[in-house]
């Protein structure tokens, strides 16, 4: 990872995604031909290769598909407290998103795959907000 440019550099096809996050909305691209949602944003549908893409607001709900506890700072520019939970979240709409799981102890014994999760928006700068996830309902 390039530590000189710690913040994501939005590409034109991902602009609606970053714009949505600034307004606390998780936006996903969807193909108008086969109607499937996908992630990451790209100009062609990964399923049918159509270029007819639209954006919609996702529910922000999903489930924990897989996770990993991070103990080492992989990028000094990120001020995430360690250890933290790197999480692959499978959204209700289908796509998987790599994020962090928050609101839980970073203990593998206390985290279960398939746990329902919901998005929380973490504002980093005026330009950049990241979608993080927590157990649905704010945890138990
Ligand atoms: Zn398609």
d(CA 138, CA 1): 31
Separation of CA 35 and ligand 1 centre (Å): 6
CA-only gyration radius of the chain, Å: 16
For ligand 1, a single-atom ion, the residues with CB < 5 A are 31, 33-34, 45, 47-48, 50
9 Cα to the center of ligand 1, angstroms: 26
Q: pLDDT tens for residues 54-106?
A: 999 999 999 999 999 988 776 665 666 788 899 999 999 999 999 999 999 99
Q: Which pLDDT value is given to residue 78?
A: 61
pLDDT tier at 46, thresholds 50, 70, 90: very high
Instruction: Indicate the pTM of the whole model.
Output: 0.86
Instruction: Please give the distance, rounded to the nearest whole angstrom, from the Cα atom of residue 51 to the centre of ligand 1.
Output: 8
**Ligand 1 centroid to residue 116 C-alpha, Å:** 27
pLDDT at 82: 82
The H or E element spanning position 21 is helix 15-22
Q: Give the number of other Cβ atoms within 10 Å of residue 56's Cβ.
A: 14
Q: Band the pLDDT of 139: cuts 50, 70, 90.
A: very low
Q: How confident is the model at residue 1 (pLDDT cuts 50, 70, 90)?
A: very low
């Amino acid at each position: 990872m390039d530590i000189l440019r710690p913040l994501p550099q939005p590409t034109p096809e991902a602009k609606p995604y970053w714009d949505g996050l600034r307004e606390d909305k998780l936006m996903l691209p969807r193909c108008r031909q086969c109607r499937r949602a996908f992630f990451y944003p790209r100009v062609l549908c990964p399923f049918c290769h159509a270029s007819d893409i639209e954006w919609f607001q996702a529910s922000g709900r999903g489930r924990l598909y897989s996770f990993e506890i991070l103990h080492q700072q992989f990028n000094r520019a990120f001020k995430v407290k360690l250890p933290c939970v790197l999480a692959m979240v499978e959204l209700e709409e289908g796509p998987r998103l790599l994020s962090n799981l928050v609101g839980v102890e970073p203990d593998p014994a206390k985290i279960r795959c398939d746990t329902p999760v919901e998005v929380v928006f973490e504002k980093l700068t005026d330009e950049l907000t990241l979608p993080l996830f927590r157990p649905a309902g704010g945890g138990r």
